[in-house]
C-alpha cells in the first residue's frame, strides 16, 4: 500500500503520480490528490496542456477516504512525445483555488495560476546507448595532455605559423598582442601518439570513454575555430594516428568521442578562408564559392553573423542543404567519416544554438553508421525544458540527444562544498531526475571541471578577494599550503559525489593530479607528468576502481535520505546490493544512523557495528565522505 503524502499532492510520490517522472508516449499516468476533508470539496479537476497549447480538463473522481483526507483520482494518456504541463483546480466551500508546483514537488495552494508541474513525454522507441553512462569518461584537451616529441612548425595547406612552447611547464600566452587580441595561437604540441602512450595510465583509472576537445585542423590551440573538418590538425598527428588510437583504445575496452563544432567554423578555414591560406575558394573570397551559402552575410565580405560577435568564428546556416550534406548526409560526411574511422560518438558544441531538426538529422545519420553511436549535447541548464533564443528545445523526446553535460550537478556540488545546504543539492538533483527520461539521467556526462570552467581545486580554495586579481596575478597564482590542503579535502568530497551519482563520472585531464588554474587559458595548462599530486591521484585511482567494479553505482536506483545542512545522505540500491553515501562538508563531526545490521566503508575498509534497533550509528568526521556497503535491515 502506498503511503499517504503529507500534503495534497506531491509529484514525486507514487501515491500521487504514477509512474515517477518522465513517461513514454502512450503510457497512462495516474494522478491522485488528497485535499483535507474539512475543506468541503465539491469537485477537483486536473488540467493538462501540451507546451504552447491550451489546457484540457480531466475531472477527478472521489475514490474514498485516506486518513483525514479525501482521495480524488484520474488518468491521462499522452498519445505522442512532447513537453506537457499540468496543475489542479479545487472547488470547495471556500471557493475555487489552484494547486500549483511548489518547492520539492509539493503543491502550493494559490488563488491564481502559478508554476505548473512538468511532464516530459518521450518516444517509446527512444533508447540511448547505455555504454556511456555505465563507465568512466576522461576529457582530454589535445594540445595539453601529452606529446611524444618536441613540437615543430607544421606544414601544409591552410597551416598558419604557430608559437611553439619547448617547455611543457610554461604558462600559456594570456596577454593580448599589439592589436589588443588574444590569438590563442600558442601550442605545447600534445599529440595523438602521446595519448596512445598514456593509454595504460587511462586504463589504470578504469576509463571507458575518452572524450576529446576538437582534434581537427584549426588556427587556435583550442581548435573550436575549425579549419578543416576532415583533417586531423597536423601538430596532433595524422588520420592514421587517429585510427591507431581508436584500435588501441578498443583493445583496452575504451571508446572515443569527438567534439563537433557545427554552429560556426573558423575565419581561417577551408570554408570561409578569411586570410586566404587555403587553396579552396572560400565564402569570404567570392560569392561564387561553394561555401558562400553556408554563411550569414549581412554585407559581403566583412559583415556576417558570428558566434557571440567574435569575428574569428563565423556562424553557419546549419539548415543549408549543402552544409547538411557535407556534415551529415553524404557517404563521406563529417559525422559518418569519423565514426567509420573509429569514433563511437560526438559531443555537440553549443547544442542550444543548433536547430532541433539539425540535431535529429545528425543523430539519425550517426545511428545509421553505428547503431550504438552516442550524441551528447553541450547544455548548461535543465535540458528538458531549455528555451534558447525564445524557442523551446526538443532534446529528449526521441531521436535528438542521448546525453548532455551535467552542469547542474557540477554547480550543485561546488555550491554545496562552498557552504550551500544538502537540501538544496538534493532538490537540484531531484528536479533533474524527475524531468529527464530515466535512460538519459543514467547516461549524463557528470562533469566537475571542463575547458570552459576554472579548475575545481582552485574554485574550492580561493578567497573572494582573489577572484578579482588581474590576469598577471591569476596566471602565477597557486593556493597557499593551508588552503590547498582544505581544497584537496573538498575535491575528494566532490569526486565522491560525482562518482556515486547516476551517469558517467567525467575527469577533466589533470584534475586528478592536482592541477590548479583560473579561467581560460589557465584552466588549460599541461598535464603535470612527473609532478602529480600522488596522494590525490591515489585517491582517484581507488575511487575509479570502486566505480568500475560496482553495478550498483552504474545502474542502481537513487534515493535521497535525510539531507540537512552540511550532511548529504543518499542511497544507491539494486536487488542485491545497497550503498549508503554520507558526505559531511562541515567543520564538525556529524552523527547519523543507517538502516543496516553491519556496514563497511568501501573507500578505506572501516567497519561499523550495530548499535541499536534503528541500525548502525555512524559518526562522520568533518570534511569526510563514506561509501558504506550495507548488509541486512534491522
Residues known to be catalytic: 349, 378
**Most distant CA atoms of the chain, gap in Å:** 83
From CA 306, how far away is CA 218, in angstroms rounded?
17
Contact 600, 587 (CB under 8 A): no
Contact 417, 585 (CB under 8 A): yes
Q: 225-260 in b/e burial notation, b at 16+ Cβ within 10 A?
A: bbbbbebbbebbbeeebbebbbeebeeeebbbbbbb
* Neighbour tally for 294: CB within 10 Å: 22
Q: C-alpha cell of 186?
A: 600558442
- Residues 6 or more apart whose CB falls under 8 angstroms from that of 591 comprise 617, 618, 619, 620
Secondary structure (H, E, C), 111-148:
CCCCCCEEEEEECCCCCCCCCCCCCEEEEECHHHCCCC
The values of phi and psi at residue 137, to 5°, are -110, 145
Q: Which helix (H) or strand (E) holds 297?
A: strand 297-299
CA angle centred on 517, ends 511 and 518, rounded to 5°: 130
Task: Give residue for cell 562522520.
Answer: 620
From CA 447, how far away is CA 491, in angstroms rounded?
13
Which burial class, exposed, middle or buried, applies to 139 when counting CB atoms under 10 A from its CB (0-12, 13-18, 19+)? Answer: buried
DSSP state, residue 279 = S
Helices (H) and strands (E) in the chain, counts: 14, 34
- Residues 6 or more apart whose CB falls under 8 angstroms from that of 547 comprise 136, 206, 499, 500, 505, 553, 554
From CA 243, how far away is CA 337, in angstroms rounded?
12
Q: C-alpha cell of 381?
A: 541548464
Helix, strand or coil for residue 323?
helix
CA angle centred on 138, ends 189 and 230, rounded to 5°: 55
Contact 228, 221 (CB under 8 A): no
Q: C-alpha cell of 167?
A: 617547455
Q: C-alpha cell of 142?
A: 589535445
Output helix, strand, coil percentages for the chain, rounded to the nearest 5: 25, 30, 45
CA dist 460 to 413, 487, 508, Å? 11, 5, 16
From CA 210, how far away is CA 199, in angstroms rounded?
10
Amino acid at each position: 500500500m502506498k503511503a499517504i503524502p503529507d500534503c495534497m499532492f506531491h509529484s514525486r510520490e507514487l501515491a500521487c503520480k504514477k509512474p515517477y517522472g518522465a513517461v513514454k508516449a502512450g503510457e497512462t499516468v495516474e494522478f491522485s490528490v488528497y485535499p483535507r476533508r474539512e475543506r468541503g470539496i465539491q469537485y477537483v479537476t486536473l488540467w493538462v496542456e501540451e507546451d504552447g497549447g491550451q489546457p484540457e480538463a480531466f475531472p477527478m473522481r472521489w475514490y474514498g477516504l485516506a486518513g483525514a483526507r479525501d482521495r480524488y483520482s484520474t488518468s491521462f494518456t499522452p498519445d505522442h512525445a512532447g513537453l506537457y504541463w499540468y496543475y489542479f483546480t479545487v472547488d470547495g466551500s471556500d471557493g475555487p483555488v489552484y494547486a500549483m508546483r511548489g518547492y520539492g514537488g509539493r503543491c502550493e495552494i494559490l488563488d491564481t495560476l502559478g508554476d505548473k508541474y512538468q511532464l516530459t513525454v518521450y518516444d517509446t522507441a527512444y533508447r540511448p546507448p547505455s555504454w556511456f553512462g555505465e563507465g568512466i569518461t576522461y576529457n582530454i584537451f589535445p594540445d595539453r595532455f601529452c606529446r611524444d616529441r618536441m613540437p615543430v612548425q607544421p606544414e601544409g595547406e591552410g597551416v598558419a605559423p604557430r608559437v611553439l612552447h619547448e617547455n611543457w611547464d610554461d604558462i600559456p600566452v594570456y596577454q593580448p598582442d599589439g592589436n589588443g587580441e588574444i590569438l590563442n595561437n600558442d601550442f605545447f604540441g600534445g599529440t595523438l601518439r602521446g595519448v596512445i602512450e598514456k593509454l595504460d595510465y587511462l586504463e589504470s583509472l578504469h576509463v571507458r570513454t575518452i572524450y576529446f576537445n576538437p582534434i581537427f585542423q584549426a588556427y587556435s590551440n583550442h581548435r573550436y575555430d575549425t579549419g578543416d573538418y576532415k583533417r586531423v590538425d597536423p601538430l596532433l598527428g595524422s588520420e592514421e594516428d587517429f585510427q591507431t588510437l581508436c584500435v588501441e583504445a578498443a583493445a583496452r575496452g575504451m571508446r572515443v568521442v569527438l567534439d563537433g563544432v557545427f554552429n560556426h567554423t573558423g575565419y581561417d578555414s577551408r570554408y570561409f578562408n578569411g586570410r586566404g591560406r587555403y587553396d579552396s575558394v572560400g565564402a569570404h573570397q567570392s560569392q561564387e564559392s561553394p561555401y558562400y551559402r553556408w554563411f550569414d552575410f549581412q554585407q559581403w565580405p566583412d559583415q556576417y553573423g558570428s558566434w557571440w560577435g567574435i569575428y574569428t568564428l563565423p556562424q553557419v546556416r546549419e539548415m543549408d542543404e549543402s552544409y547538411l550534406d557535407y556534415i551529415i548526409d553524404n557517404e563521406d560526411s563529417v559525422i559518418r567519416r569519423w565514426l567509420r574511422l573509429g569514433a563511437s560518438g560526438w559531443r555537440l558544441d553549443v547544442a542550444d544554438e543548433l536547430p532541433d531538426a539539425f540535431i535529429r538529422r545528425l543523430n539519425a545519420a550517426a545511428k545509421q553508421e553505428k547503431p550504438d553511436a552516442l550524441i551528447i549535447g553541450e547544455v548548461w541548464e535543465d535540458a528538458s525544458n531549455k528555451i534558447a533564443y525564445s524557442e523551446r528545445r526538443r532534446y529528449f523526446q526521441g531521436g535528438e540527444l542521448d546525453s548532455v553535460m551535467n552542469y547542474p550537478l557540477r554547480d550543485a556540488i561546488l555550491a554545496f562544498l562552498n557552504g550551500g545546504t544538502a537540501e538544496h543539492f538534493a532538490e537540484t538533483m531531484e528536479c533533474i531526475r524527475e524531468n529527464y527520461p530515466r535512460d538519459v539521467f543514467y547516461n549524463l556526462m557528470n562533469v566537475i571541471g571542463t575547458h570552459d570552467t576554472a579548475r575545481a581545486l582552485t574554485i574550492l580554495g580561493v578567497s573572494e578577494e582573489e577572484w578579482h586579481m588581474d590576469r598577471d596575478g591569476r596566471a602565477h597564482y597557486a593556493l597557499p599550503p593551508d588552503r590547498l590542503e582544505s581544497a584537496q579535502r573538498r575535491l575528494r568530497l566532490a569526486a565522491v559525489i560525482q562518482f556515486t551519482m547516476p551517469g558517467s563520472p567525467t575527469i577533466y585531464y589533470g584534475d586528478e593530479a592536482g592541477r590548479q588554474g583560473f579561467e581560460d587559458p589557465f584552466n588549460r595548462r599541461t598535464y603535470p607528468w612527473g609532478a602529480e599530486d600522488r596522494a590525490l591521484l591515489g585517491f582517484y585511482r581507488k575511487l575509479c576502481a570502486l566505480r568500475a567494479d560496482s553495478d550498483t553505482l552504474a545502474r542502481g536506483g537513487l534515493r535521497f535520505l535525510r539531507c540537512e545542512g552540511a550532511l548529504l545522505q543518499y542511497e544507491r540500491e539494486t536487488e542485491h546490493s545497497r550503498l549508503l553515501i554520507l558526505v559531511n562538508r562541515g567543520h564538525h563531526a556529524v552523527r547519523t544512523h543507517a538502516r543496516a545490521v553491519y556496514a563497511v566503508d568501501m573507500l578505506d575498509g572501516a567497519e561499523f557495528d550495530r548499535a541499536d534497533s534503528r541500525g548502525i550509528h555512524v559518526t562522520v568526521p568533518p570534511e569526510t565522505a563514506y561509501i558504506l556497503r550495507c548488509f541486512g535491515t534491522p
